[in-house]
């Protein structure tokens, strides 16, 4: 494929076949994606159909090295064509320059043909048919199947110049003329030279657009060290093995400086690992036993033993490569328009060239003196010769200057570079459509748990009721709770157990008996002696420091409050323990005092989950558990608001918890207690009110909402990059990458628009200029000028897209500045058209302020 006309021809040709449902052709990637009914048409028949259309085709296999080799071969082919053309053009130019300086040396070698024309003919012929062989092959295939592409234009221009020159020479020979005609022999060589040079440079530049993908591919390791270890991690045997032969559960040894060959878990050793090319994290990451290692990362200073969890095509690196490749093959909506126009471009140019030729012939024969004024040095030539010379010159220049390639390359080159830059920064954008839509988003909806918050509950407050020694009461309480909750699998139980471990610095909690989980309420059990636990924790230095921070600001740290109560219970020996909510306490007939009630209500109003601990029928402790808000959440929400984007929260959590988080980070629109299946309705509501909606979630329980939003963004995917429902996958668990994705989209679309503007203006100005519309202003283009301009225009478009490689991820300080938000708003106003299907942030729309939907009223 050489230009967008080929794309249009393939898509149109394949869609005619029964069973073919959808055809997507990527010019830059030289690939086609065909959706078809296997019961009606087979893969073999589709390949045969493509060959009938004049294009070589084979089923795609995942062999990146072969693809790179194919791209290099294409560039080398054009390089050879350029040097062959140069081999004949250089002497042609020398002949031209010689006779321009020594016109008296031009002699007739035989009637009608001068020495100058004969030499130019001898040099132009091999340049035309040897240097232009590839153009002939491609143009013949296109015309054979009723298509017109860029190669057809090139052949029309060069053949018109060459055969016009041959024919006029033959006419002069047959009429035994005493003079020799003016010819375009040097023009033919010049067109071949400039066009082949342009194609060569274009392919070299196109190769650089996929540099990010090539770097990812180069990170794949071909060999690994398979190790056999005993229970103490002593290596009994190790041998090199091809990575394709590795299986899950295999243990590999990675030496310092080597690439990690698989995704897996570190089982032995500690080292610093460079994951920058995969996650965008520029600093080395510490790896120790139980840490996850990613294929393609580079080990640092110490050897590691890694147990494989994902191998071959299932590794994170291969998934990223596949996603980026698919993204670079897909089309942005704006590209579809360009491809449709390209189908009519070449026939239109041919029509304009024919009109140009006939118009100037008519004008010339009507007023030969007007045409002769352009050739004052050809005073001995006849009017007919001069009129034909000028008319063909204009027609050839029109064919030479027209460039559908610049229009066809405007979008895919920018998309390819943009998606590659995103992958380099840990942002995987699945195609041109989400890349184009991102900067148009008017409303962003965040899931709460795991997106705005850490996703892991932690203890935010612990109130112990005692009239005895505070230190002993806290120690005994934590030992009791830690022992009981260690037997539970509930996330809140894990949070309380971790709290006890961290602050006691002790994890050998006493065992419990008669452990029972009461669904929806909590647990109950009988405790054993905690004397050993208390003895080992009493002198813990950190516990003493912790007791001293009773009056710290609750929002800044986790703390224990020690409050007095009229309930006194010395926790010792064997006791009946209840840990759970108010419903459990009521069921077990536990008396809840007014003091406990006040503390519980205060915690619940703050959005915390409250757990009460009762020992032998009396409440001795209240724990408040909450999911901590991520540090960057408030900054990200504030930045989005300044950028003119409405922000909403959509969560299944209770009303108080949702409103507490929303208030803390500045979100005004809140949908709480919404089931995953009902989140789609809320996304539709927001779309009707604000316009294009992006959903940001973790891709687990919010997949329907991600899929039904205009752009679904999965944050913190880590090694699970193939989140099906998401259009954008953020590898790192960092909400600032949402802003980076918006910024990258804006910069990429801006570059696409610049490319289109240049390509459109080039053709709108260049073709009329070549046709002679600007002759009254003294502007006359020669065919070689047109071919040079055409070649340069494609290179300029590709070079413009390559400027995106200079994109640098904005820092936190840049994102939080007013300048960043103002630039986003300003550029969006210039990028978005005046007509819109959806309202933008400039439209005044009603705002839902802290709206709460209960499960019964969430669907209108």
Written as one string, the DSSP assignment of 95-125 is HHHHHHH-GGG--EEETTEEHHHHHHHHHHH
Q: Are 623 and 561 in contact (CB under 8 A)?
A: no
- What are the catalytic residues? 447
**Cβ neighbours around 80 below 10 Å, total:** 14
Q: Which of 769, 792, 797 is nearest to 4 (CA)?
A: 797
Beta bridge partners of 429: 728
Please return the burial class of 676, using the count of CB atoms within 10 Å of its CB with bins 0-12, 13-18 and 19+: middle
Question: Taking a C-beta distance cutoff of 8 angstroms, is the pair 450, 700 a contact?
Answer: yes
- Alpha carbon separation from 194 to 28, 158, 190, 524 (Å, rounded): 21, 12, 6, 85
| CA distances for 664 relative to 239, 452, 606, 633, 661, angstroms | 56, 11, 10, 9, 5
Residue pair 444/645 in contact (Cβ under 8 Å)? The answer is yes
3-state per-residue secondary structure call for 31-50: EEEEEECCCCCCHHHHHHHH
On whether the CB atoms of residues 226 and 241 are closer than 8 A, the answer is yes
> What's the rounded Cα separation, in Å, for the pair 608 and 457?
10
CA-CA distances (angstroms) from residue 523 to 443, 597, 599, 610?
42, 20, 21, 14
Nearest Cα neighbor of 690 from 853, 843, 851 is: 843
Q: How far apart are CA 97 and CA 82, in angstroms?
A: 21
Backbone torsions φ then ψ of 109, nearest 5 degrees: -80, -35
User: H/E/C letters for each residue in 492-512?
Assistant: HHHHHHHHHHHHHCCCCCCCE
Angle at CA of residue 131, ends 130 and 136, nearest 5°: 75
Per the CB < 8 A criterion, the answer to whether 407 and 760 are in contact is yes
Taking the CA atoms of the chain, what radius of gyration do you get in angstroms? 37
Strand stretches in 374-492, DSSP E: 427-429, 443-447, 453-465
Burial class for 172, CB neighbours closer than 10 Å (0-12, 13-18, 19+): buried
Q: Residue 697's Cα: distance from chain center in Å?
A: 17
Helix (H) or strand (E) holding 751: helix 736-771
Question: CB–CB of 507/558 below 8 Å?
Answer: no
For residue 563, give the H/E element and its range: strand 559-563
Q: How many angstroms separate the Cα of 507 from the Cα of each of 153, 532, 770? A: 79, 12, 84
Run of H or E including 22: strand 20-26
Instruction: Tell me the C-alpha to C-alpha distance, in Å, between residue 233 and each of 229, 240, 305, 307, 820.
Output: 5, 18, 8, 12, 52
The backbone region for 211, taken as left when phi is positive above 0, alpha when psi lies in -120 to 50, beta otherwise, is alpha
Structure-token pair, residue 835:
């007509």
C-alpha separations of 12 from 44, 190, 226 in Å: 19, 34, 51
Three-class DSSP category at 635: helix
Which residues on adjacent β-strands are paired with residue 712?
A: 695
């Amino acid at each position: 494929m050489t230009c967008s006309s080929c794309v249009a021809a393939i898509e149109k040709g394949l869609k005619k076949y029964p069973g073919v449902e959808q055809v997507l052709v990527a010019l830059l990637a030289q690939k086609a994606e065909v959706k078809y009914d296997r019961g009606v048409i087979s893969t073999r028949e589709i390949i045969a159909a493509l060959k009938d259309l004049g294009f070589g085709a084979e089923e795609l296999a995942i062999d990146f090295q072969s693809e790179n080799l194919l791209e290099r071969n294409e560039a080398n082919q054009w390089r050879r064509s350029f040097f062959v053309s140069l081999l004949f053009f250089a002497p042609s130019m020398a002949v031209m320059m010689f006779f321009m300086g020594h016109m008296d040396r031009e002699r007739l070698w035989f009637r009608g043909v001068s020495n100058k024309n004969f030499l130019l003919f001898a040099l132009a012929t091999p340049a035309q048919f040897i240097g232009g062989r590839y153009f002939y092959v491609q143009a013949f295939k296109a015309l054979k199947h009723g298509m017109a592409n860029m190669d057809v234009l090139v052949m029309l221009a060069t053949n018109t110049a060459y055969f016009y020159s041959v024919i006029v020479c033959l006419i002069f020979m047959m009429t035994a003329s005493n003079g020799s005609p003016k010819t375009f022999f040097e023009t033919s060589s010049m067109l071949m030279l400039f066009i082949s040079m342009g194609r060569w440079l274009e392919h070299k530049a196109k190769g650089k657009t996929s540099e990010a993908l090539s770097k990812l591919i180069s990170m794949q390791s071909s060999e690994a060290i398979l190790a056999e270890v005993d229970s103490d991690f002593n290596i009994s045997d190790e041998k090199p093995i091809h990575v394709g032969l590795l299986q899950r559960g295999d243990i590999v040894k990675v030496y310092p400086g080597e690439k990690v060959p698989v995704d897996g878990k570190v089982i032995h050793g500690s080292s610093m690992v460079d994951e920058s090319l995969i996650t965008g994290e520029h600093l080395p990451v510490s790896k120790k036993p139980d840490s996850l290692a990613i294929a393609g990362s580079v080990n640092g200073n110490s050897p590691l033993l890694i147990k494989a969890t994902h191998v071959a095509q299932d590794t994170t690196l291969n998934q990223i490569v596949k996603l980026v490749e698919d993204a670079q093959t897909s089309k942005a909506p704006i590209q579809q328009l360009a491809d449709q126009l390209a189908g009519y471009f070449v026939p239109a140019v041919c029509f304009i060239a024919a009109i140009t030729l006939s118009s100037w012939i008519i004008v010339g024969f009507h007023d030969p003196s007007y045409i002769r004024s352009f050739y004052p040095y050809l005073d001995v030539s006849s009017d007919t010769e001069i009129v034909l010379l000028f008319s063909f010159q204009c027609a050839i220049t029109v064919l030479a200057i027209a460039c559908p390639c610049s229009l066809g390359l405007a979008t895919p080159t920018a998309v390819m570079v943009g998606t590659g830059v995103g992958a380099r920064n840990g942002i995987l954008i699945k195609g041109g459509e989400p890349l184009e839509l991102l900067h148009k988003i008017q409303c962003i909806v965040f899931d709460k748990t795991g997106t705005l918050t850490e996703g892991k509950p932690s203890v935010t407050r612990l109130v112990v009721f005692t009239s005895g020694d505070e230190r002993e009461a806290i120690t005994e309480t934590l030992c009791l709770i830690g022992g009981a909750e260690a037997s539970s699998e509930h996330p809140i139980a894990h949070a309380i157990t971790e709290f006890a471990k961290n602050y006691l610095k002790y994890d050998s909690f006493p065992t419990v008996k008669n452990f029972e989980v009461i669904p929806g309420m909590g647990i109950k059990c009988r405790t054993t002696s905690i004397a050993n636990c208390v003895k080992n924790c009493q002198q813990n230095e950190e516990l003493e420091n912790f007791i001293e921070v009773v009056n710290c600001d609750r929002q800044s740290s986790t703390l224990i409050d020690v409050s007095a109560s009229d309930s006194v219970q010395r926790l010792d020996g064997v006791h009946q323990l209840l840990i759970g909510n108010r419903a459990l306490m009521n069921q077990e007939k536990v008396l809840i005092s007014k003091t406990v009630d006040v503390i519980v209500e205060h915690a619940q109003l703050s959005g915390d989950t409250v757990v009460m601990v009762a020992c032998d029928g009396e409440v001795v402790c209240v724990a408040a558990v909450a999911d901590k808000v991520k540090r960057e959440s408030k900054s990200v929400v504030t930045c989005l608001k300044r950028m003119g984007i409405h922000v909403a929260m959509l969560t299944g959590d209770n009303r108080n918890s949702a409103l507490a988080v929303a208030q803390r980070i500045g979100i005004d629109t809140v949908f709480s207690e919404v089931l995953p299946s009902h989140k789609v309705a809320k996304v539709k509501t927001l779309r009707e009110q604000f316009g294009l909606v992006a959903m940001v979630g973790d891709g687990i329980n919010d997949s329907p909402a991600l899929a039904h939003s205009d752009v679904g963004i999965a944050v913190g995917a880590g090694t699970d990059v193939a989140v099906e429902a998401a259009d954008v996958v953020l590898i790192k668990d960092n909400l600032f990458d949402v802003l980076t994705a918006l910024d990258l989209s804006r910069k990429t679309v801006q570059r696409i628009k610049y490319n289109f503007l240049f390509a459109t203006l080039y053709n709108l100005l260049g073709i009329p200029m070549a046709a002679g519309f600007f002759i009254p202003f003294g502007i006359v283009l020669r065919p070689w000028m047109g071919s040079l301009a055409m070649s340069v225009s494609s290179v300029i478009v590709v070079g413009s897209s390559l400027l995106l490689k200079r994109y640098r991820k904005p820092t936190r300080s840049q994102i939080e500045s007013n300048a960043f938000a103002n630039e986003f708003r300003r550029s969006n106003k210039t990028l978005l058209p005046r007509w819109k299907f959806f309202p933008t942030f400039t439209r005044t729309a009603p705002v839902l302020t802290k709206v709460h939907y209960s499960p019964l009223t969430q669907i209108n």
